[in-house]
């Protein structure tokens, strides 16, 4: 690292999402650095093609810690998966941007490790500040700005849902806002949809989440939290006070102690009621309907429809099989790094190599139960649930009549009927 007039500048080497190693010359701003155990976050600029500077941020473990390093590696895995998912199924490209990436999601540029301390480099907003800092500096957002925030948030959540990723930690400090675009970052608590979700120690925002009977991550968690953030940005109320806002009879949202305001005397001789602006008039009717209910089915696509926003166009058709390319790529990079670092050859070959005499043909499955389905398997690969009412076979009660027995009964009945007819005809002739 070297010191310049505007801050620290230096070269960074690491792996890229495409695979080969890359090198970047980043100029960091020492005034915009967030350091605290166990992470250190620095924002700076990265020269791009054509001399256009790009705002970036680097997150690393400082000092190196075992659990923190593992959490950072898990975040790299999520960002890699998101990068590959957007490459296959992201926004439709154009001639100016052949590989478009959603403006609402942080994009992975590179990652690497120095000893036991991993780090990664991502994009950031050049003129953005966290939503929490913006609210502390200038107060609540206006109606137009709040609608722009809502639309940008749900566009980002829409692309996360396309990648089958649940963020699970949307807070004002994890969103960069420049007045037009909300950039979602900090995926340290993110996981795949359908996976067992660990507990997130992030009060007081975590106390606003609706109670859930299961521990399975779901897209509706992010939608509910995003709506709480919109209420927070519109009212300026702290999260502890947001639960006092309840819908009235017309479906509008206002604070509970202002549902029926008292009349106060007016100096003009009459009386008037003083209330705060009703923020539900800023959004279409029924915008917050069923969002905060336990087991809510509302997802980001429906919230965009409620905002009358056009659903983004995908690069290709929805392809769940391609969403795990980032995780496979990450596992391959880890194994390759272990192969290169090992003093002796490990017991397994590096990616792309095979042992002598090894065949690609899978062995025939033997008798016994099959492999257990992992809890973090994506929803698209899961096996259908078992039949809740399986056929338990014949029980002690009467079972169904077989085909041979039914035929014998029919033949016997027909024979008896014919015999009776013959007897009746014979008696009539006498």
Range of the domain at 149: 129-256+278-307
Residues 207 and 302 in one domain: yes
Residues 84 and 159 in one domain: no
| Tens digits of residue pLDDT in 328-371 | 665 666 666 566 556 554 454 444 444 444 443 444 555 554 44
Residue 398 is assigned to a structural domain of this protein:
no
Residues 104 and 142 in one domain: no
User: Closest Cα to residue 28, out of 119, 134, 133?
Assistant: 119
Percent of the chain exceeding pLDDT 90 equals 28
Q: DSSP letter string over 225-240?
A: HHHHHHHHHHH---GG
CATH of the domain at 290: 1.10.510.10
| Tens digits of residue pLDDT in 103-154 | 999 999 999 876 667 899 999 998 889 999 999 999 999 999 999 999 999 9
Residues 228 and 135 in one domain: yes
Residue 204, preceding peptide bond in cis (omega within 30° of 0): yes
User: Which has more confidence, 370 or 66?
Assistant: 66
Residue 28: both structure tokens together: 């960091």
Residues 139 and 114 in one domain: no
The span from the CA of 380 to the CA of 322, in Å, is 11
Residues 180 and 244 in one domain: yes
CATH of the domain at 69: 3.30.200.20
Q: What is the pLDDT of residue 372?
A: 46
Residue 304: both structure tokens together: 């965009």
Strand partners, 166: 191
Residues 164 and 293 in one domain: yes
Interval 398-416 mean pLDDT: 72
- Total number of domains constituting the chain: 2
Residue 358 is assigned to a structural domain of this protein:
no
- Output the CA–CA distances (angstroms, integers) from residue 59 to 6, 118, 119, in the order listed: 20, 9, 6
Residues 21 and 68 in one domain: yes
Residues 139 and 96 in one domain: no
Residues 182 and 237 in one domain: yes
Sheet with 182-184: strands ordered across? 129-130, 175-177, 182-184
Cβ atoms of 111 and 76 within 8 Å: the answer is: yes
For residue 68, the SS3 value is: helix
Strands (E), 125-281: 129-130, 165-166, 175-177, 182-184, 191-192, 245-247, 253-255, 263-265, 271-273
Average pLDDT, the chain: 75
User: Closest Cα to residue 38, out of 75, 68, 76, 74?
Assistant: 68
Residue 214 is assigned to a structural domain of this protein:
yes
Residue 106 is assigned to a structural domain of this protein:
yes
Interval 175-202 mean pLDDT: 86
Residues 7 and 57 in one domain: yes
Residues 288 and 168 in one domain: yes
The span from the CA of 197 to the CA of 292, in Å, is 19
User: Closest Cα to residue 46, out of 104, 107, 108, 123?
Assistant: 123
Residue 72: both structure tokens together: 């950072």
């Amino acid at each position: 690292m070297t010191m310049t007039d505007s801050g620290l500048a230096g070269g960074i080497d690491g792996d890229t999402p495409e695979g080969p190693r890359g090198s970047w010359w980043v100029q960091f701003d020492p005034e915009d650095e967030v350091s605290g155990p166990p992470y250190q976050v620095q924002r700076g600029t990265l020269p791009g093609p054509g001399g256009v500077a790009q705002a970036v941020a680097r997150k690393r473990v400082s000092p190196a810690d075992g659990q923190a390093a593992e959490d950072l590696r898990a975040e790299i895995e999520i960002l890699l998966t998101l990068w590959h998912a957007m490459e296959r199924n992201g926004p439709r490209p154009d001639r100016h941007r052949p590989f478009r990436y959603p403006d609402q999601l942080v994009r992975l540029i590179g990652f690497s490790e120095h000893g036991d301390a991993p780090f990664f480099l991502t994009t950031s907003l050049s003129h953005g500040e966290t939503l929490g800092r913006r609210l502390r500096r200038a107060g609540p957002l206006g109606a137009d700005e709040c609608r722009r925030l809502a639309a940008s948030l749900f566009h980002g959540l829409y692309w996360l849902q396309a990648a089958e990723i649940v963020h699970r930690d949307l807070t004002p400090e994890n969103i960069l806002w420049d007045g037009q675009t909300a950039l979602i970052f900090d995926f340290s608590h993110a996981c795949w949809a359908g996976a067992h979700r660990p507990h997130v120690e992030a009060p007081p925002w975590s106390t606003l989440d609706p109670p859930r009977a299961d521990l399975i991550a779901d897209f509706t968690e992010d939608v509910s939290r995003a709506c709480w953030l919109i209420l927070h940005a519109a009212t300026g109320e702290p999260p502890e006070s947001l639960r006092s806002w309840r819908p009235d009879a017309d479906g509008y949202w206002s604070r509970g102690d202002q549902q029926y305001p008292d009349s106060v005397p007016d100096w003009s001789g009459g009386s008037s009621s003083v209330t705060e602006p009703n923020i539900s008039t800023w959004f279409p009717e029924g915008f917050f309907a069923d969002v905060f209910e336990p087991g809510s089915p509302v997802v980001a696509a429906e919230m965009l429809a409620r905002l009358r926003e056009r659903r983004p166009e995908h690069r290709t058709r929805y392809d769940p099989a391609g969403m795990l390319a980032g995780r496979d790529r990450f596992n391959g990079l880890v194994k390759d790094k272990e192969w290169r670092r090992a003093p002796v050859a490990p017991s397994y070959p590096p990616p792309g190599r095979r042992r002598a005499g090894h065949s690609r043909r899978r062995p025939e499955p033997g008798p016994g139960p099959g492999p257990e389905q992992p809890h973090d398997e994506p929803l698209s690969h899961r096996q259908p649930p078992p039949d809740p009412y399986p056929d338990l076979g014949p029980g002690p009660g009467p079972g169904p009549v077989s085909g041979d027995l039914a035929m014998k009964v029919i033949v016997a009945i027909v024979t008896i009927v014919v015999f009776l007819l013959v007897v009746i005809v014979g008696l009539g002739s006498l």
